[in-house]
Amino acid sequence: MKRILFLGILFMILVPIGYYFLNGESQAKILPVINPIDVQEEMVDPEMLRIGMGHRIGAFRFQNQDGKFITEADMKGKVSVVEYFFTTCKSICPIMNSQMQRVQKKFIANNKVGIFSFTVDPEVDTVAQMKRYASAHYAKEGQWHFLTGEKAALYALARKSFFVLKPAEAQNLGDAGSDFIHTNNFVLIDPQLRIRGYYDGTNPKEVTDLINDIELLLQER
């Protein structure tokens, strides 16, 4: 009798565990598609706040550290990671770009992964300055782009496409040469130019999550 009772209890324990592994774990994680309505309001250009679906990264054209013009076409068909920063930043930017080096190292041999680092301070961050900064971070040519250009266009792209800048007046504080505060976010973009995730670029655990999610998008059909 005791043996039958023991086997019954064991059965009741093992069946749910088996179901979890066969059904829960076997289902691949699906990353959300993020639209303006899903993002913190202060990060989004007011004219886009109510957009609930269909958001894509808009057109842009900026120079990278090699003087080459980079556009949104360079993101199409790739999994991309985006950040906003400036080269003279002494607070979070060095941490962020140290973590971004981890991302590059993981995917350095994969031409389907690109990294796009946009400046918030283009007056200082010239092509030559970006070249020096890129070299110091061992940026792979053609994979990790440090982008500069017209300030208004850089800010508009951040507010209307990536949602990574908030008005400085909200905290009466701004980055050097900036009317906005850039966040510590890395933004994950899929090959269809859709936002699929935000990650704290100063948090190693979240950057590990980012690396894992890049792997997921590379396998996504």
| DSSP assigned state of 41 | G
pLDDT at residue 21 tops 90: no
User: Tell me: the pLDDT tens digits for 57-97?
Assistant: 999 999 999 999 999 999 999 999 999 999 999 999 999 99
Q: What is the pTM of this model?
A: 0.83
Looking up tokens 């979070």 gives 92
Calpha distance 32→116 (Å, rounded): 21
Instruction: Report the pLDDT value the prediction gives residue 180, as an integer from 0 to 100.
Output: 65
User: Tell me: the pLDDT tens digits for 23-55?
Assistant: 444 357 899 999 999 998 888 888 888 788 899
For the CA atoms of 20, 24, 25, 26, the dihedral, rounded to the nearest 10 degrees, stands at: 110
Calpha distance 23→52 (Å, rounded): 31
User: Tell me: the pLDDT tens digits for 110-150?
Assistant: 999 999 999 999 999 999 999 999 999 999 999 999 999 99
Percent of the chain exceeding pLDDT 70 equals 81
